């Protein structure tokens, strides 16, 4: 695998979310030959089986991006000790068959889960919920290492980028490296 293409789903629609900042930090930590593109799912409607066929263009676009990727990063905040509703909604859409042949774009994909929160849990509970959902769907989620960032609001530079302490940054880098190796396998 000469070039690795990763896509990222951030569990927040907020433009300057801490988790989007985490995705941007991950982009700077990738080795040469690996790209990471954020999937914009702001136009994906609430899932409703009545509107599944024909599939909305915004959903088809997300499915195509996942299908073309070698791996998927799920970067989740923690809302009330779980993943966000918007992230669950886009997962619900892409869990459905993409065509009449039953193609499910996430099944068999390699994925990793990370997250940042203002709370002290570092998104541990949200990550566990998300991992459970993804495992049910047949997604191959990297089990270790795990990157969780707590009190993220205290780790932001004046320019808005994340300023992680060396230990936390080390966990993020280890997770990125392990995921790249996992995707190569």
The pLDDT profile of the chain, 185 residues, written as one tens digit per residue, is 579 999 999 999 999 999 999 999 999 999 999 999 999 999 999 999 999 888 999 999 999 999 999 999 999 999 999 999 999 999 999 999 877 677 789 999 999 999 999 999 889 999 999 999 999 999 999 999 999 999 999 999 999 999 999 999 999 999 999 999 999 99
User: 97: Cβ–Cβ under 8 A, 6 or more apart, which residues?
Assistant: 103, 104
* Residue-level pLDDT at 99: 73
The domains of the chain, with CATH numbers, are 4-184 (3.40.50.360)
Give the global pTM: 0.94
């Amino acid at each position: 695998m000469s070039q690795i293409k990763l896509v990222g789903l951030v569990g927040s629609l907020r433009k300057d979310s801490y988790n989007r900042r985490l995705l941007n930090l991950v982009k700077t930590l990738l080795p040469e030959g690996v790209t990471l593109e954020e999937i914009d799912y702001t136009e994906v409607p609430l899932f409703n089986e009545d509107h599944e066929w024909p599939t909305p263009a915004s959903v088809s676009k997300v499915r195509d991006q996942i299908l073309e990727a070698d791996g998927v990063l799920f970067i989740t905040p923690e809302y009330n000790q779980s993943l966000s509703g918007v992230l669950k909604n886009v997962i619900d859409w892409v869990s459905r068959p993409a065509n009449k042949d039953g193609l499910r774009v996430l099944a068999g994909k390699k994925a990793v889960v990370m997250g940042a929160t203002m709370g002290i849990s570092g998104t541990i509970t949200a990550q566990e919920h998300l991992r459970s959902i993804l495992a049910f769907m047949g997604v191959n989620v990297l089990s270790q290492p795990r990157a969780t960032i707590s009190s993220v609001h205290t780790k932001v530079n004046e320019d808005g980028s994340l300023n992680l302490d060396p230990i936390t940054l080390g966990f993020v880098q280890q997770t990125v490296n392990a995921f790249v190796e996992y995707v190569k396998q």
